[in-house]
Amino acid sequence: MYTTSKTKLFGIFGYPVGHVMSPRLQSLLAEKTNKDIAYVAFSASPEEFSAKFEAAKLLASGFNITVPHKLRVMDHLDIVDDSAKTIGAVNTVVKKDGKWYGYNTDGPGFLKSLNVNKTDVKGKNILMLGAGGAARAVAYTLASNGAKSITITARTQEKADDIGAIIKANTNTEYCGIFKPDLKYDIIINATPVGMHPNEDKNPFDSFDIVTENTVCCDLIYSPWETLFLKEAKIRGSKTINGFGMLCYQGILAFEHFTGEKFPNSFFEEIYELFLKEFRK
C-alpha cells in the first residue's frame, strides 16, 4: 500500500474482521474514482473498541462499522443521522468539518438492490423473516418508502414487535405481528442466517404455497449464492434476489459519504460487475 502525505485513511471496525469484504470493495471504489485513499481493517473486541476507535479517529477520515459495534459506536459520534438514530445502528462514520457523523446505508443498499431488479415497494405487502439488526434497517427503509404493510416473524416475537413499534411511530406503513397465510405477500425477505454455513440445507420458510410468479423473494445471504429458500421460490416461478446487491450497494453508498460525491446508476452497475468478479476469485 503506497501512501503520501495527502492519502486519506479509511477503514472498517468489527470483530472479527477476517471475513469482511469491505476492504476489497472500498479499494476498488478508490481505484475507479482515482481517490488517494488507504483502507484497512481494525479488529476490536467490545472491550477494546472504545480505546481503539478513539485512537483511530486521530488519523482517519471515516470508517465502515460492522458487528458487533453498530450500536456502541454511536456514543463516539457528534451527530447521528435521524434514520440511523431511529434504527439504533450506524454502519458508516465520516469526519466533516471536525465533527464525526454517523449513517446507516444497510436499508438504502437493500432498497437499491430492489430498484435495480425493477421491484418497487410502494403499496406492497411485505413478509420479513427475522428481526435482527439487518432486518430492523431494511424494514424501516421499506416502510419509509411506502410499503403498505410489513409482517415480521421471528423466534422472539418481542424483537419483531420492537421493529413494529419503530414502523408505527415513524411511518404510515401497517405493522402485522402475525403471519397471515391469506394475505397476498408481494415481497418475502429472509433476514435470518438460516441457509448460510453451516446450515445450507436448512430453509427458514415453510409456507411456499403462498409463493407465485408474482412474488419477489429476497435473501440477505450472498454465500451460498442461491440459498435453499431462493431455490424453492424459483421453482414456483418467483423472481429471486440474493444479498450480494445489498452488500455492494451499501458499500457504494458509504463511499458516497466518504467522498461527498453522488454517483449515477451506471456507476453502481459497473461496480457491481467488477466487485462480483473479485468476489468469485
Per-position DSSP letters for 142-153, written without gaps between them: HHHTT-SEEEEE
Contact 187, 118 (CB under 8 A): no
**Which pLDDT band, with edges at 50, 70 and 90, does 276 fall under?**
very high
The stretch 86-112 carries a mean pLDDT of 98
Question: What residue segments make up the domains of the chain, in order of their start?
Answer: 8-104+248-279, 108-242
What is the residue-averaged pLDDT of the chain?
A: 96
Give the residue from 281, 277, 275, 276 showing the smallest Cα distance to 27: 275
Cβ(149)–Cβ(126) below 8 Å = yes
Place of cell 406503513: 173
According to CATH, the topology of domain 108-242 is: Rossmann fold (3.40.50)
pLDDT score, position 233: 98
pLDDT value, residue 152: 97
CA 92, CA 192: separation in Å to the nearest integer? 22
Q: What is the pLDDT of residue 1?
A: 60
Mean pLDDT of 10-31: 96
Sign of CA dihedral 12, 18, 22, 24: positive
pTM of the model: 0.95
> pLDDT confidence of 39, banded at 50, 70, 90?
very high
The rounded Cα 137 to chain-centroid distance in angstroms is 7
Class of domain 8-104+248-279 as given by CATH: alpha beta
Domain pair 8-104+248-279 / 108-242, same fold: yes
Q: Give the rounded percent of residues in the chain with a pLDDT score beyond 90.
A: 95
Q: Does the annotation mark 262 as catalytic?
A: no
pLDDT at 146 over 70: yes
Q: Would you place residue 281 in the very low, low, confident or very high pLDDT band (cuts 50, 70, 90)?
A: confident
- Residue range 62-83: average pLDDT? 98
* The C-alpha cell that represents 124 in the structure block: 406492497
pLDDT at 183 over 80: yes
Q: What is the pLDDT of residue 56?
A: 98
How large is the average pLDDT for residues 137-162? 97
Q: Is 90 exposed, middle or buried (0-12, 13-18, 19+ CB in 10 A)?
A: buried
Calculate mean pLDDT across residues 38-64: 98
Catalytic entry in 8, 57, 70, 124: 70
Question: Mind listing the pLDDT tens digit for each residue in 224-253?
Answer: 999 999 999 999 999 999 999 999 999 999
CA angle 239, 244, 249 (to 5 degrees): 105
For the cut 90, the answer to whether the pLDDT of residue 102 exceeds it is yes
| pLDDT value of position 5 | 79
| Average pLDDT of the residues in 252-273 | 98
Is the pLDDT at 37 greater than 70, yes or no? yes
